[in-house]
Structures are given as structure tokens and as C-alpha cells.
Chain A
Amino acid sequence: ETGVTQSPTHLIKTRGQQVTLRCSSQSGHNTVSWYQQALGQGPQFIFQYYREEENGRGNFPPRFSGLQFPNYSSELNVNALELDDSALYLCASSLAAQEYEQYFGPGTRLTVT
């Protein structure tokens, strides 16, 4: 059984640029969530996708957007990067029927300069 994987591991971008982060869900999982973890803080929920549609969103602006594909992999897109977007971005997958079982990937460390 393959766990949750994320790519890339690290990324450096310049303020104002756009970035795409990728996540492959654990085998059989149909729901994916994205979280932002700033340095020294707990993760914050960005949004959740189920059946290729966003069905839940945290307190993040529209420049944070996502996609979920038929194979349940997912992308997080961030436009107009700001310095405060520097963080560890975590992806978690689960089964909709088992919402309490969320498995996290290793994360992508984004640095905005």
C-alpha cells in the first residue's frame, strides 16, 4: 500500500509568482485536504476536495485554489505569492466514509523571497 506522497520536497519562489504543489493520495482514498503550516505553528486547513469538487474551505483567499483528478491525486495552486506564504504545505488523504482517518504526506517546504 502506497502512502501519501508530495512533490516537490522544497521550492523557492519570488514574491508575485505562481506555484503548483502536487499530492498523490493513499491508494483507495477519495478525499484530499490541504494544510498550511507556518514555522512554529500548527497546520491550518486550506480546503478539501471530494469527487473533484471543493467541498470545504478554511480562511484562505481565492488566490489559493486546487484541483482533484479522477485518480484522486491533487494540486494546490497559489497565485501572486506573498512572503507570508512561506510555509510547509501538507496534503492529507482519507476516505469520505472514514473522515477521522486522515493520512498526511511529508509536505512541501515553500520559501517565498
Chain B
Amino acid sequence: AQSVTQLGSHVSVSEGALVLLRCNYSSSVPPYLFWYVQYPNQGLQLLLKYTSAATLVKGINGFEAEFKKSETSFHLTKPSAHMSDAAEYFCAVKERGGADGLTFGKGTHLIIQP
């Protein structure tokens, strides 16, 4: 069974500071990994995904994440936070070839301080 752990239900950073959102996963086989963002009262928007190519994945809005197999981690970073980045962020894992859908973490609420 797969699982995702997001460390920190709330993360607060100053505008212009580095954003680091942590995600660790558990999977019996190399999975697909994802980061989604959710703004209030909206659905999920895909930020980036890891599918087995480069371990450093670049996404939209300046976000990137690095797949580290040895640490079973897929942390999300952005060099400089913007006020518009304030949202809920979800890390998710999916078994390759399976029909079990995505398994999501509980989410991290990102707060940007002016």
C-alpha cells in the first residue's frame, strides 16, 4: 500500500524567501509522484510530476521538486515566494500501471508574510 506524509500542516515564509514543502512517500515499487496546488473553493491544479526521467522536475510558477529514491522524498521548492503562492499544496503518489488512483497527503497550507 502506498502512503504520503507531508511534514508541516502549515508553513509560513516571507515574500521573497525560499519555499520548501516536504513530502515523503512509501511505495513498494517506483511510483509516479505529483504536487498539486489548491486555491480556496477550487479544484486541484497540477504543479509538476515525476514519471522516471530527470530526478529534478520543473513545474509551473517557478516551482521544482527533486526525487530522492534513497530518502523516499519529493520535496517542493521555489527560490522566491510570491504573495500569489499562498494556497494549499498536496503531494500525491500513484502506483505505475495500477488503477487505484492517486494517494494524497493531508496537505500543507502555505502562508506568505508580506
Interface residues of A (CB under 8 A from B): 4, 33, 35, 40-48, 50, 55-56, 58, 90, 92, 99-107, 109
B100 close to chain A: CB less than 8 A: yes
User: Which B17-47 residues sit within 8 Å CB-CB of chain A?
Assistant: 32, 34, 36, 41-46
- Is A103 touching B101 in the complex (CB atoms < 8 A)? no
- Is B104 touching A43 in the complex (CB atoms < 8 A)? yes
How many pairs of residues, A versus B, come closer than 8 Å at their CB atoms?
A: 66
* A4 proximity list for chain B (CB < 8 A): 43
- Is B101 touching A35 in the complex (CB atoms < 8 A)? yes
Give min CB distance, A51 to chain B, whole Å: 12
- Is A56 touching B45 in the complex (CB atoms < 8 A)? no
**Nearest 5 CB-CB pairs, A to B?**
A56-B99, A45-B101, A42-B104, A104-B44, A104-B43
Given A35-B101, A42-B104, A99-B94, 14 more pairs with CB closer than 8 A? A33-B101, A33-B102, A40-B107, A42-B107, A43-B90, A45-B100, A45-B102, A45-B103, A48-B100, A92-B102, A99-B97, A104-B44, A105-B43, A107-B43
